């Protein structure tokens, strides 16, 4: 909900930060938290999120698979460090696909499906690849809300309303957080 309240300029700034974060070293110990973060961020602008983040995750997953991640057949969950990065990127991709409009990216997604189903041989990698198919089906069947802001678009774009929101939130106790939230 927080990201949907941001102006376009502020959302673009957060997009740059999210991309930098995803392209940096994988946060393996925080994969669930990062997945939830990507889910919230992607919900605000589904088209932009998919356009910007999918190619990065696609490239990262393909690189992990080329370097042998998930290549050891196993019925148990793999604790190998080399597989953790792949699983991290797969979880991020699952949340991105679940929250975004994937119709325009069907060739890229189906290509990645095939690669993951062919290359992932350990239990967790294969399970996350199957979960990506489930997330894709859910995304296609889910009805997405076009605008979930707390005001109408005409009010949101009105400079007077922005100033009133700024003054209203500025006088509260959470000055630092809400100042960034309402500054356009």
In whole angstroms, what is the distance from residue 120 CA to residue 26 CA? 19
Q: How far out from the chain centre does Cα 173 lie?
A: 31
pLDDT at 113 over 80: yes
Q: What is the pLDDT of residue 74?
A: 76
Mean of pLDDT values over 10-16? 90
Mean of pLDDT values over 100-107? 88
Mean of pLDDT values over 98-114? 90
Query: pLDDT digit string (tens) for 48-87?
Result: 999 999 999 999 999 999 998 888 887 766 555 668 899 9
Q: Which residue is associated with the tokens 């209203």? A: 168
Q: What is the pLDDT of residue 48?
A: 92
Q: What is the pLDDT of residue 168?
A: 46
What average pLDDT does the chain have?
Answer: 81
Provide the residue count of the chain.
184
SS3 150: coil
Q: What is the pLDDT of residue 16?
A: 94
Task: Return the number of other C-beta atoms located less than 10 Å from residue 161's C-beta.
Answer: 14
pLDDT at 136 over 60: yes
Query: pLDDT digit string (tens) for 19-46?
Result: 999 999 899 889 999 999 999 998 888 8
In whole angstroms, what is the distance from residue 116 CA to residue 118 CA? 5
| Two structure tokens written together for 141 | 């069947």
In whole angstroms, what is the distance from residue 86 CA to residue 71 CA? 11
DSSP code at position 143 = -
Check if the beta carbon of residue 95 is closer than 8 Å to that of residue 46. no
Check if the beta carbon of residue 129 is closer than 8 Å to that of residue 120. yes
In whole angstroms, what is the distance from residue 5 CA to residue 151 CA? 9
* pLDDT, greater one: 152 or 78: 152
| Two structure tokens written together for 116 | 């993951």
Share of the chain above pLDDT 70, in %: 75
């Amino acid at each position: 909900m927080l990201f949907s309240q941001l102006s376009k300029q502020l959302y673009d700034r957060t997009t740059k930060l999210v991309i930098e974060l995803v392209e940096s070293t994988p946060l393996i110990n925080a994969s669930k938290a990062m997945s939830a973060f990507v889910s919230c961020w992607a919900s605000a602008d589904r088209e932009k999120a998919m356009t910007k983040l999918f190619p990065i995750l696609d490239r990262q997953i393909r690189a992990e698979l080329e370097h042998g991640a998930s290549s050891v057949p196993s019925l148990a969950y793999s604790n190998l460090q080399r597989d953790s990065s792949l699983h991290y990127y797969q979880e991020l991709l699952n949340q991105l696909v679940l929250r975004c409009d994937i119709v325009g990216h069907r060739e890229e997604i189906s290509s990645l499906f095939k690669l993951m189903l062919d290359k992932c041989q350990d239990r967790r990698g294969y399970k996350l690849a199957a979960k990506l198919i489930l997330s894709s089906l859910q995304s296609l069947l889910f009805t997405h809300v076009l605008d979930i802001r707390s005001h109408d678009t005409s009010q949101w774009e009105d400079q007077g309303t922005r100033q009133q929101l700024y003054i209203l939130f500025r006088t509260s106790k959470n000055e630092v957080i809400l100042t960034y939230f309402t500054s356009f």
